[in-house]
């Protein structure tokens, strides 16, 4: 029988005894006496609840437990039960719609990443550092790019969000559920507060280049999971991770090979696509995802230092346009099901159909971080159809050019005359400083919403279909007008 049912039975017994006593002694029931008894029992239950809350551990006590390798036991007023279908645990409270999901037993801490041997042989991926010896200048510019920074160790300087008050908290619509991002001994943690229970989960890996924001992963054994709180670049605050319900505390979202394919260079998948050899993980989308595994190339040139011809490496510019586009399409066609769950099988010159399942035609125009098919959208553009352009004609993969509208606009002017633009007479000579916002507008990511206590957020993404867009043009003209008025 549940605690609430026992309490109800206890209260009923009190009322029955009280009613019998009053009837036997006074010949009847006095409503005022019964009311006093009910209020007294209610106060007693309230005091018991307060006593339980008084036993809530402080932040210092939580830290002491963590240093001892332990977590706070689940309080008696919460229910904890395993969820066999997902290999996780649920913690909740009766009559409340919020809950916690964790892959480790409540009251314990996540298991650290194990030191185990790889199951599969690395096909030759080394990471960007291996290219540095011969390509120093390219390496130095490449490590600032979104590709390289799309995953990295979650050191304190690789976490964009605040880890100290007052901006290190995430509040929810429930006053009983909140999150605090903290640092201790040079390591970052997310501390979840769920009623009078607290637990901590470490930041192990930062995911995302911080264009829209960052999410974070942690190890539990040989599996990776996403932390509940992510960081949004705009409006510079902590938020629920995409797809998470505001008011819940979810730490049981598994990371699969398909996720790492576009956030890492290589990972050894063990018995399935959700178990990994931690030491095999090469973070960041490095040089080799475009040029192919580099070990043979590096070994050859170490042994033949006088050779000036690239050996055992692919130079993408030597590929056909379609092959070049397919290299980018590994990640810029949205999430696609892997034909081989181990992943990391694509090599420059392959076709996407060799390694990925075909997409639903309805998904090709969806606009979201994980659904945006930039390859398809670009191929619908007249600029693409009437030229030989490929992604690298606008994007230099070796340099961070984010936000450099004038740089990208100059690439438009390699084919277009600025005087031919319909807005040239209105804007004048400065029109060549920003072709992008008119012809490649940002659109709300309708396939990725983020729940917050104050409402849903839909971060915008750049649409890669180049076109004349009257609404975007008018919006850009309004911005120019406001800028001029503000001078």
Write out 386-421 in H/E/C secondary structure. Answer: CCCCCHHHCCCCCCCCCCCHHHHHHHHCCCCCHHHC
Q: Which of 223, 247, 241, 346 is nearest to 290 (CA)?
A: 346
The neighbour count for residue 467, using CB atoms within 10 Å, is 15
- Give pLDDT tens digits for 92-119: 998 898 999 999 999 999 999 999 999 9
Per-residue pLDDT band at 158 (split at 50, 70, 90): very high
Q: 342 in helix, strand or coil?
A: coil
Residue 457 neighbours by CB under 8 Å, 6+ apart: 232, 239, 449, 450, 451
Q: At 228, list the tokens.
A: 């509940």
Q: Strands of 79-83's sheet, edge to edge?
A: 79-83, 88-92, 99-102, 249-250
What pLDDT, on the 0 to 100 scale, is given for residue 35?
58
| 362 pLDDT more than 70 | no
- Provide mean pLDDT across the span 23-38: 53
**Distance between CA 9 and CA 5 in Å, rounded?**
6
Which of 53 and 225 is assigned the larger pLDDT? 225
Q: At 76, list the tokens.
A: 């008696």
Q: At 275, list the tokens.
A: 């178990």
What's the whole-number average pLDDT of the chain? 87
What pLDDT, on the 0 to 100 scale, is given for residue 266?
98
Which of 381 and 21 is assigned the larger pLDDT? 381
Question: Which uninterrupted H or E stretch holds 312?
Answer: none
- Provide mean pLDDT across the span 218-236: 95
- Say what the pTM is: 0.85
| 7 pLDDT more than 90 | no
What pLDDT, on the 0 to 100 scale, is given for residue 240?
95
**Distance between CA 274 and CA 258 in Å, rounded?**
9
What pLDDT, on the 0 to 100 scale, is given for residue 5?
47
């Amino acid at each position: 029988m549940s605690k609430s049912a026992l309490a109800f039975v206890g209260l009923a017994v009190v009322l029955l005894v009280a009613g019998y006593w009053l009837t036997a002694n006074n010949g009847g029931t006095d409503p005022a006496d019964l009311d006093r008894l009910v209020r007294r029992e209610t106060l007693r239950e309230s005091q018991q609840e307060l006593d339980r809350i008084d036993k809530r551990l402080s932040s210092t006590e939580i830290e002491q437990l963590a240093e001892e390798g332990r977590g706070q036991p689940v309080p008696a007023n919460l229910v904890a039960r395993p969820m066999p279908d997902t290999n996780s645990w649920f913690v909740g409270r009766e009559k409340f719609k919020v809950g916690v999901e964790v892959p480790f037993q409540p009251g314990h801490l996540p298991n650290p990443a194990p030191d185990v041997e790889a199951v599969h042989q690395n096909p030759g991926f080394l990471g960007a550092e291996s290219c540095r010896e011969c390509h120093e200048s390219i390496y130095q510019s490449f490590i600032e790019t979104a590709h390289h920074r799309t995953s990295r160790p979650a050191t304190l300087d690789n976490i964009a969000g605040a880890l100290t008050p007052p901006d290190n908290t995430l509040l929810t619509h429930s006053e009983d559920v909140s999150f605090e991002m903290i640092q201790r001994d040079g390591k970052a943690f997310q501390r979840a507060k769920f009623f009078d229970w607290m637990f901590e989960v470490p930041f192990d890996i930062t995911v995302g280049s911080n264009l829209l924001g960052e999410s974070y992963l942690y190890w539990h054994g040989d599996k990776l999971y996403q932390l509940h709180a992510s960081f949004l670049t705009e409006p510079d605050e902590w938020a629920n991770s995409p797809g998470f319900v505001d008011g819940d505390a979810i730490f049981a979202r598994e990371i699969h090979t398909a996720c790492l394919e576009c956030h890492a260079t290589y990972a050894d998948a063990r018995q399935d696509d959700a178990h990994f050899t931690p030491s095999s993980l090469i973070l960041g989308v490095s040089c080799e995802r475009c040029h192919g595994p580099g070990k043979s190339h590096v070994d050859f040139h170490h042994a033949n230092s006088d050779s000036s011809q690239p050996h055992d490496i692919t130079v993408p510019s030597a590929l056909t346009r379609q092959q070049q586009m397919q290299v980018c399409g590994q990640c810029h066609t949205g999430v696609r099901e892997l034909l081989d769950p181990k992943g990391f099988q694509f090599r420059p010159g392959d076709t996407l159909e060799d390694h990925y399942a075909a997409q639903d035609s309805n998904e090709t125009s969806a606009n979201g971080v994980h659904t945006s098919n930039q390859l398809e959208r670009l191929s619908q553009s007249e600029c693409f159809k009437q030229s030989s352009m490929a992604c690298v004609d606008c994007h230099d993969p070796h340099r961070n050019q984010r936000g450099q509208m004038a740089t990208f606009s100059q690439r438009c002017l390699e084919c277009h005359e600025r005087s031919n633009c319909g807005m040239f007479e209105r804007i004048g000579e400065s029109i060549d400083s920003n072709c992008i916002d008119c012809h490649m507008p940002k659109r709300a990511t309708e396939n990725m919403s983020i729940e917050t206590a104050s409402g849903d957020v839909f971060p915008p993404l750049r649409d890669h279909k180049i076109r004349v867009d009257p609404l975007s043009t008018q919006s850009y003209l309004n911005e120019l007008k406001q800028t001029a008025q503000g001078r």
